[in-house]
Structure 1
Amino acid sequence: ESCLVFPFELVTQYEELVDAGKMFLVKFRQELEHFRRPMIPMESGAVSQLVKSNYTDRLKSYLEAGCHLQHQSIQNINQLQSCEEKLEDHINKAKVLIEELECLAEDVYSTTLIASLSILEASDCSDGDNNLPADCCEDEGQSVDPLDSAVSYSSVMILVHNMLKLDYSMQEKIVKALSLKTPSSELDGYCLMWDLRPYVDDNVMQLAWKFIS
């Protein structure tokens, strides 16, 4: 029973990491957009009039500084660095979980393969005996059911691992691509892809949870 539950505890931990990583990515986008917000559009008649009518020393200094306040810029940079560090930590932790899940998937596959070969060998040995009683045949037929279940479980587990590994690889590429020069359109795309998780099939995940429900 623990063999069935433990791998999906890893999946649960991974899902929690993905949610946390999403928050850090969204925060990174917000801080970066705030850091590089555009200057006041003086070409706009209404805006230009407002500036002229309120042209204080404070506003003058603000405009000369490129519409940035030093303390705010420092806060933005600190927040951006913090988000990057947390995203890198997320990637490191996710990698460990994916590797653990891979080892478990390989173990389940090997165990299932050995069991399958053993049953096939036993079946080959009994093929020449045509005098087996009916109830013995029924027992043999029933003995295949657990194997079928194990094969199905092994297949689903491998699918889950492959999906999450692709999902992790996508997130790793996103984190490595982040910088102060990342265009806004790319940031929007990264956040969308992180949220959509195109490599993860919900139907397969639901099927996987049925094995432990």
Structure 2
Amino acid sequence: MVDEAAVHQVSPLLAPMSEEEARRCFFDFMTKVTQYEELVDAGKMFLVKFRQELEHFRRPMIPMESDAVSQLVKSNYTDRLRSYLEAGCHLQHQSIRNINQLQSCEEKLEDHINKAKVLIEELECLAEDVYSTTLTASLSILEASDCFDDDDNLPADSCEDEGQSVDPLDSAVSYSSVMILVHNMLKLDYSMQEKIVKALCLKTPSSELDGYCLMWDLRPYIDDNVMQLAWKFIS
């Protein structure tokens, strides 16, 4: 004979997370998601700026093999133009400015990666907390259900209480599922950005830079439908 009081007396550690608690955790989670999205937008600006400065720094020399360009140069061959051509079509002060800008962009992108990593880790902690709590509560309720199945003499109102206790757990499970999905997507997105930043250098081909900017903008690991669902949970 199972002790009815023992079945319903669940310890605080095994108590299901209330809907309000789950919602509060989810709100904190989505707040950090917003912070991450803001970082991504800022990182995109730094990456585009890096590409612009690098392309300007290594722009090609004037194509003297072109008849039209050659005629223009000959007709305007001033001391300034001559010095410019002799310097390899680079102005020293512009080259110094380009290098400084490139270094600044690299530093800002590295800072972006560091901040994004912290947010991803915080998102993981929040998702794991809700998941572990709901998992423990689910197992506790399943064990209680088995006890009820073994005892046909328990009052009907006890079964009603059991059914009522599942409702907040269902909400917590829904929040947990969405949090896990969103975190996994953002983690892949972060890994992609980290690889891009580590690959940047003065020798990075223009085609690769274009591809990096495109991938950063497209964010192929992010499912818009999942993100829309997540935002609906707090609307």
Question: Deviation at 1:182?
Answer: 0.3
**Higher relative contact order at CA 8 Å, sep ≥6: structure 1 or structure 2?**
2
Do 2:50 and 2:102's aligned partners in 1 also have CA atoms closer than 8 Å? yes
Deviations for 1:147-188, whole angstroms, at most 9, x for unmatched residues?
222112111111111111111010000000000000000000
- The equivalent position to 1:46 in structure 2, one of 43, 68, 72, is 68
Q: For the structure 1 residues 135 and 210, does the alpha-carbon distance in structure 2 shift closer, same or farther, using more than 3 Å as the test?
A: farther
CA distance in 1, matches of 2:205, 2:193: 17
Question: Is this contact kept in 1: 2:26–2:179, CA < 8 A?
Answer: no
How far residue 10 of structure 1 moved from its aligned partner, in angstroms, is 0.7
Instruction: Give the TM-score, by structure 2 length.
Output: 0.86
Residue 194 of structure 1 deviates from its aligned partner by 0.3
Q: 1:149 is paired with a residue of what secondary structure?
A: helix
Between the aligned partners of 2:166 and 2:122, the Cα distance in structure 1 is 29
Residues 78-103 of structure 1: CA deviation (Å, up to 9, x unaligned): 00000000000000000011111111
Distance 2:133 2:160 in 1: 25
The structural deviation recorded for 1:7 is: 1.0
Single out whichever of 139-148 and 171-180 deviates more from structure 2. Answer: 139-148
SS at match of 1:148: helix
What is residue 20 of structure 1 aligned with on the other side? 42
CA–CA separation in structure 1 for the residues paired with 2:66 and 2:156: 92
CA RMSD in angstroms, aligned pairs only: 1.5
What is the CA–CA distance in structure 2 between the aligned matches of 1:57 and 1:88, rounded to whole Å?
42
What is the CA-CA distance between 1:205 and the residue it aligns to? 1.0
Q: Once the 2 structures are TM-superposed, how far is the Cα of residue 211 of structure 1 from its aligned partner? A: 2.1
Indicate how the Cα distance of structure 1 residues 109 and 98 shifts in structure 2: closer, same or farther if over 3 A, else same: same
- Of 118-127 and 20-29, deviating more is 118-127
Equivalents in 2 of 1:104, 1:201: separation in Å?
A: 20
Query: Post-superposition shift, 1:204?
Result: 0.9
> Is 1:130 equivalent to 2:136 in the alignment?
no
C-alpha separation between the residues in 1 aligned to 2:224 and 2:217?
13
**CA–CA distance in structure 1, aligned partners of residues 48 and 98 of structure 2:** 14
1:144 Cα deviation (Å)? 2.4
Question: What percentage of residue pairs aligned between the two structures are identical?
Answer: 91
Normalised to the residue count of structure 1, the TM-score between the two structures is 0.95
Give the distance between the partners of 2:141 and 2:54, measured in 1 at CA.
60
1:133 deviation in Å?
A: 6.2
Q: Retained in 1: the 8 A contact 2:49–2:105?
A: yes
Return 136-145 or 59-68, whichever deviates more: 136-145
Structure 2 segments unaligned to the other structure (5+ residues): 1-22
Whole-Å Cα distance in 2 between the matches of residues 109 and 137 of structure 1?
26
Q: Which residue of 2 aligns with 1:165?
A: 187
CA distance, structure 2, for counterparts of residue 74 and residue 83 of structure 1: 14
Q: Secondary structure at the match of 1:204?
A: helix
Look up the match of 2:122. Answer: 100
Structure 2 distance, partners of 1:206, 1:28, is 32
Q: Offset at 1:71?
A: 0.5
SS of structure 2 residue aligned to 1:22: helix
Partners in 2 of 1:74 and 1:3 — Cα distance?
49
Would you say how many aligned residue pairs link Structure 1 and Structure 2? 213
